[in-house]
Chains A and B, each alone.
Chain A
Amino acid sequence: MLKRNEIKILIVEDDKFLRGLLVEKIKHEGFSVIETTNADELFSAVSKERPHIILLDLILPGKGGFEILSELKANHEYASIPVIIISNLGSRDDVDQAMKLGAVEFMIKAHHTPLEIVEAVKKVLGTHYVGK
């Protein structure tokens, strides 16, 4: 089994302050964090680092989260990496679309604290890597 610090969590979030708060929380739990702010950074990080889980914002400069998600899922190498959407969108249509594209969880930033996000990450890691 992997140690906590060997588990790599990739964050795609363009808001520096929010990203900082979330990164601190995740690091505090002992995980490794890779920070990215847009699609280009994300894809180069994914190919280089092979993260265990991706936390994806939907509204991003350039390529949006939905597009990124469908590209990830269309790539057979990356398709198995679980993706949690962390966004301030959150209408039923948005949630349905994200889930249909293959996201495992949809968390609205204004409705969840970083701590709750970390809990969700642990849960997803548990079911995705240990449960199988």
Chain B
Amino acid sequence: MNPKMRHSLFFRFFFTLLALGIFPMAVASLLFAMTYQSRIRAVFESDDAIAFIETVSIQFILIFLFVFIIATFAAIMITRHIARPLSVLTEAVRRIGAGNSKVHIGVSRKDEIGVLGNFFNEMAERIQEAKDRQEEISKLKSEFISIAAHQLRTPLSIQKWVYQGIVDGDFGRITKSQREAVEKGSIANESMIRLVHNLLDAARIEEGKFGFKFEEADISVFIKKIIDEKTVLAKAKNITLVFGDAVGGEAILNIDPDRLFIAVGNIIENAIRYTASGGTVSVRLDVNDELVSIKVSDTGIGITKDDQSRMFTRFYRGSNVMHVETEGTGLGLFISKNIITAHGGEISFHSEEGKGTTFIIKLPLKSSLKSPTNPPAEPFVAAL
């Protein structure tokens, strides 16, 4: 980040000082020459005059050299005094810009630069305070979500058990319409339970407490298991779930099976959920360049252009899905993305409204450098 030499402070000061020294010298020599021409030349012998001129010329050259040296030194001294503190400040500001606000500059000067340094330190402290406060608030928020979710679970489990008991006839025989009503209640209850579960996961991700346990696994077998489980949901909605495996047991990955099951399961479940009855969801497994890709394509409602940039944000739900499917929590993709990132992978999608969506999950092979051995700690990025 060094400025170019000719733009540097040193050269500016140097040329200014040099000009300040040389300009009066030039005026003095001009005046001297005029005086010499009009007065002195007539009085002296010509030999004496020549010697005198030579002496004066040498004196002028010496004085010029002296001015040059003084200007150089003065420029160096002034530059040091101004440019060095400036570069310290620049570095400090750069660090704050890069997100490290724990910066403090030692200030011993009492001049304008010292004042600037003091102001800078105050500002850095304020930024740090604000950051601490925000972190504290975010932590409290996550804790609050955790506690609230736990508190919600008890009444939700009571409801669940009661609904189940009624349906099972534990409280006596019920009519068909009573059963239907209870079953509706039960569906709402289950979706609340799922929401609470997702809330707890999201809060744990944010608190950095969502631990990962990695182990080697055959990705084909793993995906097949997810497909088998989601086939029930697909059949219930009359959707064809297709699995194309181009890997065939030849790719071993380092994964946390439980967590990755949730992540990939969410994506497949979304595809089924947001595809109309009679549609197709296809999952394709491929391997290339040390990466395994899992492509989940549907023939569903798609994601609008406006929604696309916010798909992985917490609680965000597509504007076109609310009236199709009321059940989503808006947390699934946030959770999936975090799990996939912790696996050293990435997730992306492309979508056309009304035609369908394709999600692509890429995960590093066990042998590749990106494969997680020590899971990276989830940084707490909070925007309240």
Contact = CB atoms under 8 A, between A and B. Distances in A.
Contacts of A91: 200, 204, 209
Nearest to A22: B161
Contact of A110 (B160, B162, B210, B258): B160
Highest count of chain A CB atoms <10 Å: which of B150, B193, B196: B150
Given A93-B209, A110-B156, A111-B193, A88 B150 contact: yes
Contacts of B170: 24-25, 28
Interface in B193-210: 193, 196-197, 200, 204, 209-210
Interface string A89-119: 1111100000000000000111101110000
A88 B165 contact: no
Nearest to A114: B161
Chain B interface size band reads: 20 to 34
Interface stretch (A13-21, A40-48, A64-72, A73-81): A13-21
B186 to A, nearest CB: 10
A110 B200 CA distance: 13
Chain A interface size band reads: 20 to 34
Contacts, number: 55
Contacts of B180: none
Highest count of chain A CB atoms <10 Å: which of B154, B156, B211: B154
Nearest to A116: B164
Interface string B52-93: 000000000000000000000000000000000000000000
Contact of A88 (B153, B164, B168, B209): B153
Contacts of A111: 193, 197
Interface of B: 150, 153-154, 156-158, 160-162, 164-165, 168, 170, 193, 196-197, 200, 204, 209-211, 213, 258
Q: Which 9 A-B pairs have CB atoms at the shortest separation, nearest pair first?
A: A109-B157, A88-B153, A110-B157, A113-B164, A110-B153, A110-B193, A21-B161, A110-B156, A88-B154
